[in-house]
Structure 1
Amino acid sequence: MKRKILSLAAIFAVLGLGAAFWAYRTFIAGPAIPKGLADYTVEIPAQSSFEDVVGLLLEQKLLEDEAAFRLLAEQMNYKKDPMRSGRYELQPGWNMLQAIRHLRGGAQKPVQVVLSTARLAEEVAGRAAAYLEADSLAFAYAMQNPALLQELGFTPETLMSLFIPNTYELYWNTSPKGFLERMKMEHDKFWGREGRLQAAQALGLSTAEVYTLASIVERETLVKAEKPRMAGVYLNRLRIGMPLQADPTAVFARRDFSASRVTDYHTKFDDPYNTYMYPGLPPGPISMASISSIDAVLKAEKHNFLYFCAKGDGSGLHAFASSLAAHNRNAAIYRQNLRARGLR
C-alpha cells in the first residue's frame, strides 16, 4: 500500500513538473508577440470588451496563441469589461505575461498631435480627430459647447486664440473636453513665458486681441522678417482709429479661401469680420496664428508707416509707406512689376 502511495505521489510530481514546465514555456519563456511585423501598436476604444481586445490582437496578428492568452488573462484578472482603453505598443518577442501586464497596466504610447495653419475651429476638430480616438463631430460639439467655452474663458469668436501652433504629446483616448483643457494649459504656459502677457498689456490689448491681430499678419505675409513691421502698421492704424482694411479679413468674411485676388465682392461684403466695413479688430482670429506672428505683434516695429503694398517682384516682400501718396507710388511699381513678369 505504501509503495502504491509513493508511486502515485511520484506520478503527480511528474505531472506537476510537466504542467509547470508547460506553463513556463507558454507564458514566460516562449515569445507571445511575433517578430517581423510592421506595426506593434494596438488601439483599444472606450467600452471595448475582452472579446473586442482579442479580436483586435488577432486582426493585427499580434497574438500567436489565443487559447494561452485567454487562459492567462483569466488568471491575471484581465477580463473585466469594459477593458482599459488606449493606444498601446507591444514589443516583438514579449512573452504572454509581459503582454498582458502591459495592456492591463494602461501604459499607453502617446501620440504627437500637430496643430498648425487651420482657419476655422472645425478644421482644428478635424486635425485633433485625425490623431485621437473621438471623431471630428465630438470635437466640434465640444468646441461649440457654451458652458465649456465659458469655463475655459473663451467665446465662439475667440476660441481660435486658444490654440498655439505646436506639436503636442497626448494620449490617444484623450476626450474632446480633455483636449481643450490641455490646450488651455498650453495657452496659459505660452502667455506666461518670455514676458508675453506683460507685452500685451503694454499694448493695451488682451491676449485674444493680440492673437487676432497676429492672425491677420499671418495671412498677410510669409516672410518672417517683415512681420514686426507689418504688425506696426496695423497697430498704428488702431492707434489713430484708421480702419485696418486688411484683405485677409474680407476673404475670411466671405469664407472665400481659394480667392487669388481681393475684389469688391470681398471688401464690400457686410460682415463684422470685414475690416473694410468695420473699424478696429474683427471679433476674433481669422486663422490660427504662428508663434512668430504672435511675437511679431508683441515686439512690433515702431515706425510711422500706415500703408504697405506687395512689391510684385516675386520676392514676397512688401513696400511700406507713411503717406497715401507714397503708397500710391508703391502700388504703381507693383503693377509695373507684374506687367514685367507677364502677370498682368
Structure 2
Amino acid sequence: MKALKRIVLVLFVLSALVVGAAGWWAWSGYQRFAGAPLPGVEAGDIVMVERGDNLLRVVARLRGQGIDAGHDLEWRVLARQLGADSRIQVGEYALEPGITATRLLENMRDGKVVRHRFTIVEGWNIRELRAALGRATPLVQTLHEIDDAALMAMLGREGVHPEGRFLPETYAYDRGDTDVDLLKRAADDLDRALDAAWQARADDLPIDTPEEALVLASIVEKETGIAEERPMIAGVFTRRLRMGMRLQTDPTVIYGMGADFDGNIRRRDLTADTPYNTYTRDGLPPTPIAMVGAHALRAATQPEETDALYFVAVGDGSGRHVFSPTLESHNAAVRQYVQRYRERHGPR
C-alpha cells in the first residue's frame, strides 16, 4: 500500500508539474502575442472597422491582408484585459511596422483613427477649391455633377454666391467623410469668423454690412500675401470708399474676366466693363472674389488709418508694396517698379 501511495503521489506531482508547465508556456505565448510586433505589417497598411463589426471579424480582416494575427482566443483574452472586448470603434486604423496587438486594440478601443487633412488656401476661388477637393483622397466625392447653386442649397445657403464662403484652414477628416461634409464645416467656420470680425469692427467704416466686409476682405486677400501689409491695404481701400474714389484694383478685373484671363492684364481689360471691373464701376464688386482668411477679415474691419491712396509692388521679388499719398509720388513708385522688374526679368 505504501508503494502504491508513493506512486500516486509521484503521478500527482508530475501531473501538477505538467499542468504548471503548460500554463507557463501558454502564458508566455500570450505575453509574446500581446507585446510583440504583428508579423506581416508593412508601412502604410491600414485596417478598417466597419459598422457592425465585432473583434473577431476585424481579426479575420487582418489575416486577409496577410498579417499573422495569432489565435482568436488570444485576442479575446487581450481585449477583455484591456476593456476593449465590446468597445472597438468604427474607423480607419494605421498599421505601421512594429505595432503590437495591444497597441492596436488600445487604438480601436479609444477611437484613435487615421485623420486625413485638406487645406483650403487663402485666395483660392471657388473653381480652385472644387478642383482641389476633386483630387483629395480618401474624401468621398459627391460634387461631380452638382453646380455651385445646388451646392449652396445643400449647405443650407440657397441663393448665396459660393465665392468667399469657405474659411481657409486645414481640416481634418475621417475616411468615409464627403466633400460636402468638409465644405459644411468650412462654411460654418467662415460664418463665425465673419461675425467675430464684424462685431469687433472699427467705428465709421464706409461699409454697412458683414457681406460688404467679406467682399472688401477678399480684395485685400488677393492684393497681398504679406500679413502685416493687409491692414494698410485695407486702409487705402477704406479711404477711397470714403472719398467716393473708385477702387481700381486689378484682382477684381481679373476675376471678372474669368476663363479669359491668360496671366496678363492689358489696358483693354481695364476698360472692358464687367460687374467686377472697379476701374469702370464705383464701390465694391457684387460678391467676394476669393476665399478669405481671418487676418484679411480683421484688416477689412479694422483697417489702418493712412493718408495713402495708392500702392504698387516694390518689384524686388519680396511681394511688398510702396504706399503713396499722391498720384505724383505713386507714378514715381511705378517707374521704380518697372525699372526693378526689367533689371530682374529683362524688358517686358
* 2:252 is equivalent to residue 249 of structure 1: yes
Q: Does the aligned pair in 2 maintain the 1:112–1:170 contact within 8 Å?
A: yes
* 2:221 is equivalent to residue 218 of structure 1: yes
CA distance 1:245–1:256, shift in 2 (3 Å): farther
* 2:154 is equivalent to residue 148 of structure 1: yes
Q: Secondary structure at the match of 1:161?
A: coil
Q: Distance in 1 between matches of 2:261 and 2:36?
A: 53
Greater shift in the superposed pair: 25-34 or 224-233: 25-34
- 1:157 corresponds in structure 2 to 161
- 1:198 corresponds in structure 2 to 200
Q: Does the aligned pair in 2 maintain the 1:229–1:300 contact within 8 Å?
A: yes
Greater shift in the superposed pair: 36-45 or 110-119: 36-45
CA distance 1:258–1:278, shift in 2 (3 Å): closer
- 2:5 corresponds in structure 1 to none
Q: Distance in 2 between matches of 1:168 and 1:102?
A: 22
Greater shift in the superposed pair: 25-34 or 165-174: 25-34
Q: Secondary structure at the match of 2:334?
A: helix
- 1:8 corresponds in structure 2 to none
Gaps of 5+ in 2: 1-15
Q: Which residue of 46, 57, 75 corresponds with 1:42? A: 46
Q: Which residue of 166, 169, 175 corresponds with 1:166? A: 169
Matched to 2:155, the amino acid is: L
- When the two chains are superposed, the root-mean-square deviation of aligned CA atoms in Å is 4.9
Q: Distance in 2 between matches of 1:93 and 1:149?
A: 43
* 2:327 is equivalent to residue 335 of structure 1: no
Q: Secondary structure at the match of 2:165?
A: helix
Superposed CA deviations along residues 42-88 of structure 1, whole A, max 9, x for unmatched, are 26497898999779746765x213x8469968xx9x9xxxx975321
Q: Distance in 2 between matches of 1:15 and 1:258?
A: 85
Q: Distance in 2 between matches of 1:70 and 1:269?
A: 76
**TM-score when normalising by structure 1:** 0.69
Matched to 2:265, the amino acid is: V
- 1:278 corresponds in structure 2 to 281
Greater shift in the superposed pair: 275-284 or 29-38: 29-38
**Identity score, percent:** 27
Gaps of 5+ in 1: 1-12
Q: Which residue of 261, 264, 279 corresponds with 1:261? A: 264
Q: Does the aligned pair in 2 maintain the 1:233–1:307 contact within 8 Å?
A: yes
CA distance 1:89–1:340, shift in 2 (3 Å): closer
Q: Which residue of 235, 243, 254 corresponds with 2:238? A: 235
Q: Which residue of 93, 112, 120 corresponds with 1:115? A: 120
Matched to 1:224, the amino acid is: A
Matched to 1:227, the amino acid is: R
Aligned length: 332
Q: Does the aligned pair in 1 maintain the 2:278–2:285 contact within 8 Å?
A: yes
Q: Secondary structure at the match of 2:215?
A: helix
Matched to 1:310, the amino acid is: A
Q: CA deviation at 1:199?
A: 0.8
- 2:189 corresponds in structure 1 to 186
Q: Secondary structure at the match of 1:319?
A: strand
Matched to 1:198, the amino acid is: A
- 1:87 corresponds in structure 2 to 92
Q: Distance in 1 between matches of 2:95 and 2:216?
A: 46
CA distance 1:87–1:140, shift in 2 (3 Å): farther
